[in-house]
Amino acid sequence: VTDPDNLFDNTIGILENTGGRGRSWERPVSIEFIDPDNPTASMQTNAGLRMHGNGSRGSAKNSLRLLFRADYGPKKLNYPLFGEDFVAQKFNTVVLRAQAANSWISGRSEDRKSTTYLQDSFAKDTQGAMGQPHSGSAFVHLFLNGTYWGLYNPTERPDGSFGEDHFGGDDTDYDAVNRRFSVEVQSGTKTHWDEMITHSNTNLSSKAEYE
């Protein structure tokens, strides 16, 4: 729930200006997680909301990101969003994936034919089942100011905060890079990334070099 202008105003609304990025395009919201099967597990807190994604920003259904900081309330979401047994129980940010790629609103017929809304979560859960670090994943029905907005897939964003939440330390202890039009540093540096790319471009002709 938020002031409607934060979503729909031509000047400041994030859903009317889907290309907006960064802190200046973050808007305050009150969020509730409602579990009809377990009312005692329901939760309310405050957060920031901004657009998420790249190519999907031109889609009819947009991905969003919740950010938790002292400006709004608690610095982290302290809630078992992905189950009581999941390794991380506190989160700096949660991505609300619209799942636009393989969906019924995709412009590509092959995407619409393969729509299950399960591909991404299945890959993450399978990685976890093999004992490897993985992002938490769930499914919710999202309402914005009381209006049903569709099926969304809350998940973790694998950045420095993810490293902090899963392995300890501070988010600045971790290098996290993202590739949009170029390699962008989310936390730490890309020094080791650049070294890896340079090595892989020239020195993978033998097993010894690969190792």
Ranges 10-14, 82-86, 148-152: which has the least confidence: 82-86
Strand-pair partners of 148 = 143
| pLDDT over 80 at 180, yes or no | no
**Residues belonging to the chain:** 211
Average pLDDT over all residues of the chain: 91
**Once rounded to an integer, what is the mean pLDDT over residues 187-198?**
91
State residue 100's pLDDT score. Answer: 80
Question: pTM (2 decimals)?
Answer: 0.88
Q: Which two tokens stand for residue 168?
A: 């300890």
**Cβ density class 167-202: b for 16+ within 10 Å, e for less:** eeeebeebbbbeeeeeeeebbbebeebeeeeeeeee
**Once rounded to an integer, what is the mean pLDDT over residues 81-105?**
89
What pLDDT band is residue 202 in, cutting at 50, 70 and 90? confident
State residue 67's pLDDT score. Answer: 96
State residue 208's pLDDT score. Answer: 85
State residue 114's pLDDT score. Answer: 85
Give tens-digit pLDDT for 102-126. 788 778 888 888 888 999 999 999 9
Higher pLDDT, 143 or 198: 143
